[in-house]
Structure 1
Amino acid sequence: MFKSTKKTLNCRGRLVDLTTPAVMGILNATPDSFFAGSRIGLDETVATAETMLTEGATFLDIGGYSTRPGAADISPAEEADRVLPVIEAILDSFPEALISVDTFRASVARQAVETGAAMINDIGGGTLDTAMFETVAQLGVPYVLMHMRGTPQTMQSLATYQNIVTEVIDEMATPLARLRALGAKDIILDPGFGFAKTPAQNFSLLSQLESFRQFDEPLLVGLSRKTTIWKTLNITAEEALNGTTVLNTVALMKGASILRVHDVREAVEAVKLTQNLTFF
């Protein structure tokens, strides 16, 4: 089992220690999330945020752009209109909440941070907006660099690899070096499970997740209720909590520092239990 490297994130002046892995709760500000349980209104979102924080979430990840297969493209203005009121409402009720904004657009990221977000979670890894890396460096907030090919609309047609692990590592090395050169602080790596990857490729990535520790940056893993789980088990996304917990546990044992999940309590329990394991 790989213990998390002692690493702190500076989130608006608050230091978050990832020696013990953290849990990030997913809050979708979209009408068409792949998981029906996360399609909720503003009041219910604030109530869900309270539940997640009570259950032990360190971060709340708010996204206004659906990346499910076949999802429609929306404008940056519409994305901001979905996300910013949610950030404001949550911080009005819970001022100490650490909010991550799930966006690949620099303009939305900037507005979200100005509204109070403490982290940027970019599924495009800087490939979908050339201004993102400079914006991240200027804002000085933690940044999740995720691997993806293409766009949310084209990514699944680009899931061709000779060696999934080495190619994803290679394709993340260059943007990581650029971020570092720009002076970006607190970079978190996400291999991008389900983004331009087949279920079999996702399992290969998870099996060798420890390979990403060569970058000496925290790892975020987002497998919650994804197709890889429910198609493998021949069930639905709504039935995929147990499978999610199984794969989250594997991820923790292979060095994940942050779990991005729909179900916080179960993820926090997985963290607590795996922290008691020792391998010689």
Structure 2
Amino acid sequence: MHSIVPAGRVAVMAVVNRTPNSFYEGARTFGLEAALGAARSAVDHGADWVDIGGLPFSPDTPLIGIDEEIERVVPVISGLLAEREVVVSVDTWRVDVAREAVAAGARVINDTSGLHDPAMAQLAAETGATLVICHCLGEPHTHVPRPRYADVVGEVADFLVRRRDLARSHGVRDEQIVLDPGHDLTKNTRHSLAITRDFDRFVELGHPTVAAVSRKDFLSEALDLPKAELHDASVAAASWCMALGAQVIRMHDVRAGARAARLAEVIRGSREPLGPARHNV
């Protein structure tokens, strides 16, 4: 059984970005106390897992130094774990940042670069940390203009298999591996819609799979709505992915995501209804 995502359950991964320039303004919590407050609130609202990042994925943001990224994420990790019992991940593609985060108590490395640096797999093998392998083209923190795929679902699945096998070759165990097809990361809206529609293709790879759909651009374009108005769409997209087998949903709106996840578990039969039996009994 996977130590982070038990079979049949859905983990709600809350987003806490200690940055001044996140893609979604509502996720920006740059000050230490603001970031800690957001992390505490996420846990209190039902997050099973808190994902803490110090450097936005977008190359349109300044590339800060490694020491600065460590200073952004490590105090949030250690501060949260001193107060709450919760799974914490670090959202980074830099091995030195991940090493310090794991030393501070993070149990998961969320590598949005897709193991661009194989040393990240070696670190996971050495420490036993869970490793989230995300699909992404190109160099970290660089533009991939107009990405093209002949078969986006098949190509993303093949990439994840290759990187999963790379992680295995460095000693990462299967029960440490989580996969993420990378909604919107080096993909346009139609690409992200396709990987949402066929999300079960990634579930079939045999590892817990992340649906990181919350407030993403593809939802904004699909409905012609600003990110601030994507609460309902984010829950709907996450629910679609859960119906196809997603075991992790990465959400900005934790309370709504947690309710959707608990309902998905009840429908799957992996959790009993939370309330007393009253209807037609």
State the AA in 2 paired with 1:184.
V
Are residue 271 (structure 1) and residue 261 (structure 2) matched? yes
Could you say if the C-alpha distance between residues 52 and 18 of structure 1 is closer, same or farther in structure 2, counting changes exceeding 3 Å?
Answer: farther
Runs of 4 or more above 6 Å deviation: none
1:214-247, CA deviations, whole angstroms, 9 ceiling, x for partnerless residues? 3211101101101111122222111111110110
RMSD: 1.7
Which position in structure 1 is the counterpart of 2:274? none
- Which one of the candidate residues 217, 221, 244 is aligned to 1:231? 221
Deviation at 1:92, TM superposition (A): 2.3
1:28-61 CA-to-partner distances (Å, cap 9, x unmatched) read 0111011111212221222222221122111100
Residue in 2 that maps onto 1:19? 8
Q: 1:49 aligns with which of 32, 39, 51?
A: 39
**By how many angstroms is 1:152 displaced?**
4.9
How far 1:158 sits from its partner (Å)? 5.5
Out of 115, 118, 133, the position equivalent to 2:107 is 118
Q: Which has the higher contact order (CA 8 A, sep 6+)?
A: 1
- Tell me the percent identity: 32
Aligned twin of 2:77: 87
CA distance in 2, matches of 1:120, 1:48: 20
Report the Cα distance in structure 2 between the residues aligned to 1:105 and 1:19, rounded to whole angstroms.
32
1:9 aligns with 2:9: no
Q: Which runs of 5+ in 1 are unaligned?
A: 1-6, 11-15
**Which of 51, 56, 60 is the matching residue for 1:61?**
51
Deviations 1:74-95 (A, max 9, x none): 221111111111112212222x
2:179 aligns to what SS in structure 1?
strand
| Equivalent residue for 1:33, pick from 1, 10, 22 | 22
Query: What is the rounded CA distance, in whole Å, between the counterparts of 1:37 and 1:277 in structure 2?
Result: 31
Is 2:150 the counterpart of 1:184?
no
Once the two structures are superposed, the pairs formed by residues 154-169 of structure 1 within 5 Å of their partners are: 154-157=142-145, 159-169=147-157
Q: State the match for 2:127 in structure 1.
A: 139
Q: Within 2, Cα distance between the matches of 1:213 and 1:227?
A: 23
Distance 2:57 2:97 in 1: 16
Structure 1 letter corresponding to 2:3 = L
**What is aligned with 1:13?**
none
Partner of residue 252, structure 2: 262
Change (3 A) 1:155 1:223: farther
1:144, 1:188 within 8 Å by CA — same for their partners in 2? Answer: yes
How many angstroms apart in 2 are the aligned matches of 1:64 and 1:235?
27
Cα distance, 1:153–1:44 mapped onto 2, change above 3 Å:
closer
2:198 aligns with one of 200, 208, 220 = 208
Counterpart CA distance in 2 for 1:73 and 1:160 is 26
Code of the aligned partner of 2:219:
I
1:125 counterpart SS class: coil
Cα distance change on mapping 1:152 and 1:223 into 2, 3 Å: farther
Calculate the TM-score normalised by the size of structure 2.
0.89
Contact 1:148/1:155 (<8 A) preserved: no
How does the TM-score come out when normalised to structure 1? 0.90
Alpha-carbon offset, residue 154 of structure 1: 3.4
Contact 1:68 1:152 survives alignment (8 Å): no
Provide the C-alpha distance between the structure 2 equivalents of 1:236 and 1:188, rounded to a whole number of angstroms: 30
Query: Amino acid of the residue matched to residue 28 of structure 2?
Result: R
8 A contact 2:122–2:171 mirrored in 1: no
User: 1-side partners of 2:268 and 2:124: how far apart?
Assistant: 37
Q: Is the 8 A contact 2:10 2:262 kept in 1?
A: no
